[in-house]
Structures are given as structure tokens and as C-alpha cells.
Amino acid sequence: MANYKLQHINTRPKVFFSEKLKNLLFIVFFIASIGQQGYAQVSATIDSTSIKIGSELKYKMQVEADSTQIVVFPEGQTFMPLEVIDSRKIDTSKNGNRFNLIKEYALTQFDSGHYTIPRQKVLIGDRVFFTDSLKVEVRDVLVDTTKQKMYEIKPLVEVEAKSIVNWKKWILWIL
């Protein structure tokens, strides 16, 4: 009888990462998840992508940040070419040790066309975050002049200009 040598065939699937690499990745993900405590999220939305000339567009910025961080929202006319009609108060809600801040702006435009609201800068602590730019269409208001009655242009009316310093009255009052 002949002796045959049996070969051992490994049926286990080969592991792509070695054990050391797995441990290293675990440590990196663990440290990254711990570091997420100081993170912040900034987003911006609009209530409509198409408005009529002069209509109000609501622009909402939402910031989720740590309760210890100071958040500074943009102020002034940073939304050019759209105009800021109103800047509303910040709405704040607390979720554990995080704050959810919502700031609303009322925007408008008096010329028809396609506009892009530029990225807005938000300061959170010592870091700068930017929102996405958003596209808006401003449509003309259609006026049917065949159904609407037209009126004549009114003539000019002369208005008497009143001066703050009316010297005749002052002299009479002093006398």
C-alpha cells in the first residue's frame, strides 16, 4: 500500500487587512468620534425658488453648534443682488449640550431675472463656515391692459415749502 501525503488546503477567506491595521483603523475612528463634540453644522434653505417682483423670499440659516461656542450670523446687505427687507430674531432650541439656532431673513428683488444668493459666512467660535449658494428666479407680474382701465396722468400740484426757521414768527414772538 502506498502512503500519500495529505495537503492541507486553507478554506478560510483571506483577510484584506491585517490585525494591526484593523486596530489602527478602530483607534482612528474612535478618536474621530470623540472629536465630533466640537463640530458644527451650517445649512441654508429658501421657501421658494421662484418669486414675483417685490415679493418676499424667506431665507433660513440653521446652525447646530456646541453650547459653549459663540455663533455670529451675517448682517447687512450680504445677500446681494437681493435686498434684505427684514432680519428676524434668532430662534434657539437646546438638544443636550448642543444648540440648534435658526436665523431667518426676508429678501426681495425688484428686477426680474435669474439670481444667485451668494454663500453666506457664519462664524462659529474661531472657525468660519459657509452656506451653499442658492438660485432664485424673479418673475414679472403680468398686467392685462385690455381688461384693466387706464387712467390719465394727474397734473403736477405745487406744494408750499415750509422752512424750519421762519424768521418772521421768531421776531414777532421775541417782541
Lowest mean pLDDT among 22-26, 47-51, 89-93, 139-143: 22-26
Percent of the chain past pLDDT 90, that is, above it, reads 14
Instruction: For residue 36, name the pLDDT band (cuts at 50, 70, 90).
Output: very low
Give me the residue label for grid cell 425688484: 110
Residue 70 DSSP symbol: -
Q: Please list, in sequence order, all residues whose beta carbon lies within 8 angstroms of the beta carbon of residue 114, skipping any fewer than 6 positions away.
A: 135, 136, 137, 138
- d(CA 9, CA 124) in angstroms, rounded, equals 59
Q: Taking all residues of the chain, what is their mean pLDDT, rounded to a whole number?
A: 79
| Range with the largest mean pLDDT of 10-19, 55-64, 89-98 | 55-64
Confidence (pLDDT) at 24: 64
Q: What pLDDT, on a 0 to 100 scale, did the predictor assign at position 34?
A: 47
40-139 carries CATH number 1.20.140.10: no
d(CA 136, CA 79): 12
Are 90 and 102 in contact by the 8 Å Cβ rule? The answer is yes
Which pairs from 111-118 meet CB under 8 Å and 24+ separation? 111/53, 111/138, 112/53, 112/138, 112/139, 112/140, 113/137, 113/138, 114/138, 115/81, 115/82, 117/46, 117/59, 117/79, 117/82, 118/78, 118/79, 118/80
pLDDT digits (tens, 9 = 90+) for 97-148: 888 989 999 999 998 899 999 998 888 888 888 989 899 999 988 877 777 7
Q: What is the dihedral of CA 16, 18, 23, 26, to 10 degrees?
A: -10
pLDDT at 146 (0 to 100)? 76
Residue with more model confidence, 106 or 168: 106
Pairing of strands 121-124, 57-66: unpaired
81 pLDDT above the threshold of 70? yes
